[in-house]
Amino acid sequence: MSIGVFDSGIGGLTVLKEIRKVLPNEKIYYFGDTARVPYGEKTKELIIRYSKEIVEFLLEKDVSAIVVACNTATALALKELKEIFKIPIIGVIEAGARTAINTTKNGKIGVIGTKATINSEKYTEEIKLFNAEAEVFQKACPLFVPAVEEGILNGKLVNQIIKTYLDDFNEKIDTLILGCTHYPLLKEAISKIYPNIKIVDPAKETALDLKEILKENKFLKNDAQKNEEVKYYVTDGKEKFKEIGIMFLEENIPTVELIKL
């Protein structure tokens, strides 16, 4: 049994990192669509088409479950993927919404993500399903992705960007969802500026949900088995993926295969 994990590129490695902590013995295929990243600025039609192509590729690897390790693809394509494909497919948004509801004390939750994720209103929808009374404050933070990819994770420049986006959230919200795979790398910088806001990274809870799904479906491997390696596929820039990937995964990426979809 193996698991497929995909993202628009490199960001999904923050989700993979959490999955590896919970499920170190499962064989994982990670797909990063580096040739077509970013998804955050693309239309729903395109994101659905790209996501379908990736799921079809992963199915050829015989995966028994798939994680959409990308907030944008979860927001825009998860529903459609679940309708088309028969295997369990989970995204990151439900887990993020649930964790935020369990974390907030004042019912005021902030959500940050790409433009496509924020415009989809998917987080608001999911949060309201858990608690219709919750108040959601959303903001797209498009400058975060390039800052992270440049390794600018702390210091004056990134603090200025964080403040520009988030200052009007302060005093309102007590919980903030990092609704984009890149943002966990800015968690420290954000908490330093807003120490009273609790920060939710949906990846942790998603990994636990995945474990439950594998258990329910009897897909889980014997836990006594040794650490399995991950197979990586990208659609462009193998070397850049390896180089920046370490920052996201905090683990070496030995080999990456280039794929044409």
For the segment 157-216, give every residue that binds ligand DGL (CB under 6 A): 180-182
Q: Which of 180, 185, 214, 256 is catalytic?
A: 180
Task: Indicate the residue among 64 and 74 with the shorter CB distance to ligand DGL.
Answer: 74
The answer to the question of residue 39 lying near ligand DGL (CB under 6 A) is: yes
For the segment 87-106, give every residue that binds ligand DGL (CB under 6 A): none
Phi, psi of 188 (to 5 degrees): -60, -45
Interface stretch with ligand DGL, choices 22-30, 65-73, 98-106, 221-229 (CB under 6 A):
65-73
Residues linked to residue 54 through DSSP beta bridges, in sequence order:
none
**Best CA proximity match to 246, nearest among 86, 32, 43, 10:** 10
Interface stretch with ligand DGL, choices 17-25, 66-74, 118-126, 229-237 (CB under 6 A):
66-74
Q: Which of 23, 28, 48, 70 is catalytic?
A: 70
Q: DSSP labels for 56-106?
A: HHHHHTT-SEEEE--HHHHHHHHHHHHHH--S-EE-SHHHHHHHHHHH-SS
Phi, psi of 32 (to 5 degrees): -115, 120
Task: Indicate the residue among 73 and 109 with the shorter CB distance to ligand DGL.
Answer: 73
| CB-closest chain residue to ligand DGL | 40
Interface stretch with ligand DGL, choices 59-67, 109-117, 224-232, 252-260 (CB under 6 A):
109-117
The answer to the question of residue 110 lying near ligand DGL (CB under 6 A) is: no
Query: Is residue 89 exposed (0-12), middle (13-18) or buried (19+ Cβ within 10 Å)?
Result: buried
How distant is the alpha carbon of residue 132 from its chain centre? Answer: 24
The answer to the question of residue 51 lying near ligand DGL (CB under 6 A) is: no
**Length reported for the chain:** 261
Least distance from ligand DGL to the Cβ atom of residue 222, Å: 32
- Told to judge if 180 belongs to the known catalytic residues of this protein, a careful annotator would answer yes
Does the N-terminal peptide bond of residue 254 adopt cis geometry, omega within 30 degrees of 0?
no
Token pair 């943002």: residue: 183
Written as six digits, the tokens of 133 are 């009374």
Token pair 């693809």: residue: 73
Known catalytic residues are 70, 180
Residues flagged as binding site: 7-8, 39-40, 71-72, 181-182
Contact set with ligand DGL (CB under 6 A): 7-9, 11, 37-40, 70-72, 113-114, 117, 145, 180-182
